Structure 1
Amino acid sequence: MTASALLETNDLQVHYGRVEALPGVRLRVEAGRIATLIGPNGAGKSTLLNALMGALLKPGTSRGAIQFDGEDISGLSVPERCSRGLCLVPETRELFGSMSVEDNLVLGAYLHRKRRDDRSRSDLERVYALFPRLKERRLQEARTLSGGERQMLALGRALMARPRLLMLDEPSLGLAPRIVGEMFQVISRLPSEGIAVLLVEQNARAALRVADYGYVLETGRVSLEGPAQTLQHDPQVIDTYLGLSARHKEASA
């Protein structure tokens, strides 16, 4: 049985003046699933995430339908999209460097604090259980953390907002392989907690390994899509994004 769509776009376009950044993208993220978006630098992956969040980094125009849980959110502001359960962890991470790790995390729960929600403490303990190093460093200023710890903090802060759909932009960027493995282990567990994921990632191998469905974005268009396991064995994906070693492994299997 096909899961219900939590997020769907139909002919989503982004223009910066006369420059067409996204000519028209159609994608779907199902509830309780991980979808990944892979492709070369400059393909428009980050632009797509920012358009979905309503947070285009440059003055531009976005057209096309964005449906979130059956509602058209195209005209909603960033805070309104956040309140409905849409959350983006940008590539830049955007932490408050002079604030402590714990204060950064608590800020992630600001929507629920306004409602005097007493679950914030349990949410905090849940994040610490996922990332024990953050608990060890909870009183440190965020700017003193390593790159991997900053990424953990950015992801943990997003989880404090209790997202229904978490969008991640290059979570493995600049991280050591061991930290990348830890990060993807956490990401793979999120659907079991009721959180759908849209993952933009240069590490196509790791992304397709944890995803249920994948899209290949090239020059602003989806050139290929399908179940992630199928894409892992697609010759075009292997040659362009997974490397020749994967092709050799396929041949010898």
Structure 2
Amino acid sequence: MKDTLLEARDIHVAYGKIEAVAGVALRVARGQIVTVIGPNGAGKSSLLNAIMGLVPCSGGLSLAGADIARLAVEDRVALGMCLVPESRELFTEMSVLDNLILGTYARFRKGERNFDADIEGVYDLFPRLRERKAQRAGTLSGGERQMLAIGRALMARPTLLMLDEPSLGLAPRIVREILRVVVSLRERGVSLLIVEQNARAALQIADYGYVIEGGRVVLEGPAAELQADANVVATYLGTGGSKTPLPPGATA
């Protein structure tokens, strides 16, 4: 893959005797949206957690050509990697603004002190957060919490942003708004790795996709090809139901 940003090689994750990820290899190129789809329990979230350093794994991991397999989570963040977990992990008793500021921790450690432009940039992406900047994160709606979780990650200025189930539990209108932002981030040069139960929505905006079953990659290819694959359609997309409308700039 040309200009690879993230490369994972033969990744294994086990919880006791249960192997959740069994030899997965994947790549994310700069400026790409890559999605990982598959059934519940396939190992998708475990894969993201392993890449972020949150769970032990074996195998090779590199970011922009640098070996990160043995780096601590904070060091991976400092190199430009961020994960928005499925649980979002917000500081619920703190305000929206304070949650955003906490996203600058790695940059603060490097000596940066002025983050006003970054905060305004997040508010431009998610105007609702500007309206609620003084509100406690715990009082936000589900969609607003997801916006805040993504916004906080963006405060670290990541080159690789990983999203674990960004549409989970959200209304279709909010999902479209989240997808719109994801597409706009790609246009700004952020590379994205997305785990998503909503396979149709994920493949509509992605450049490349991986299908994982039982902890293994069973199919991969350009997202447009996966959308047309009969097995993917039958298993994950179905033939009925309405498509999630593409946000402006998405490629189907």
Query: Is the contact made by 2:34 and 2:206 (CA closer than 8 Å) also made in structure 1?
Result: yes
Tell me the residue number matched to 1:221.
216
Aligned to 1:3: 2
Question: Which residue of structure 1 lines up, in the alignment, with residue 160 of structure 2?
Answer: 165
Deviations 1:118-160 (A, max 9, x none): 5511000000000000000000000110000000000000000
Match of 1:236 in 2: 231
SS in structure 1 of the partner of residue 91 of structure 2: coil
Report the Cα distance in structure 1 between the residues aligned to 2:128 and 2:212, rounded to whole angstroms. 35
- Counterpart in 2 of 1:81? 76
CA contact (8 A) 2:74 2:106 kept: no
Contact persistence 1:39–1:202 (CA under 8 A): yes
Asked if the contact 1:113–1:120 (Cα under 8 Å) also holds between the matched residues in 2, the reply is no
Q: Distance in 1 between matches of 2:107 and 2:9?
A: 31
Whether the aligned pair in 1 keeps the contact of 2:28 and 2:193 (CA below 8 Å) is yes
TM-score of the aligned structures, taking structure 1 as reference length: 0.93
**In the alignment, structure 1 residue 55 sits paired with structure 2 residue 50:** no
Partner of 1:155: 150
Pick aligned residue for 1:90 from 79, 85, 90: 85
CA distance in 1, matches of 2:228, 2:111: 49
Other structure's SS at 1:67 match: strand
- Percentage of identical aligned residues: 59
Tell me the C-alpha RMSD between the 2 structures: 1.1
The whole-number CA distance in structure 1 between the counterparts of 2:115 and 2:186 is: 20
C-alpha separation in 2, matches of 1:224 and 1:114: 41
User: What's the CA shift string for 1:41-90, capped at 9, x where partnerless?
Assistant: 0000000000000102xxxx411101111111110010011100110000
Q: Which stretch has the larger CA shift, 183-192 or 113-122?
A: 113-122
Matched, 1:140 2:139: no
Query: 2-side partners of 1:3 and 1:101: how far apart?
Result: 38
Look up the match of 1:44. Answer: 43
CA distance in 1, matches of 2:68, 2:159: 15
Give the structure-2-normalised TM-score.
0.93
Name 1:193's counterpart in structure 2. Answer: 188
Deviations 1:150-195 (A, max 9, x none): 0000000000010010000000000000000000000011122121
Equivalent position of 1:65 in the other structure: 60
Q: Secondary structure at the match of 1:6?
A: strand
Query: Which of 185, 207, 210 pairs up with 2:205?
Result: 210
Contact kept, 8 Å, 2:24 with 2:217, in 1: the verdict is yes
User: Do the aligned residues in 2 keep the contact of 1:112 with 1:120 (CA within 8 Å)?
Assistant: no
Tell me, in whole angstroms, the C-alpha distance in 1 between the residues paired with 2:17 and 2:148. 38
Q: Deviations over 1:189-230 (max 9, x none)?
A: 112212100000011111001100000000000000000011
Deviation at 1:116, TM superposition (A): 3.5
Aligned to 2:249: none
User: For the residues of structure 2 that align with 1:195 and 1:54, how far apart are their CA atoms?
Assistant: 20
Q: Tell me the secondary structure at the aligned position of residue 245 of structure 1.
A: coil
Secondary structure at the aligned position of 1:22 is classed as strand
For these two proteins, the number of residue pairs brought into alignment is 241
Query: 1:91 deviation in Å?
Result: 0.1
Give 3-state SS (helix, strand or coil) of 2:179's partner: helix
Aligned partners of 1:149, 1:120: CA distance in 2, in Å? 21
Corresponding residue number in structure 2 for 1:18: 17
Deviations 1:4-42 (A, max 9, x none): 110011111112222211110010000110000000000
Task: Say which is worse superposed, 13-22 or 141-150, in terms of deviation.
Answer: 13-22
Whole-Å separation in 2 of the counterparts to 1:65 and 1:113: 29
Stretches of structure 1 that go unaligned for 5 or more consecutive residues are 247-253
In the alignment, is the contact (CA less than 8 A) between 2:9 and 2:60 conserved in 1? yes
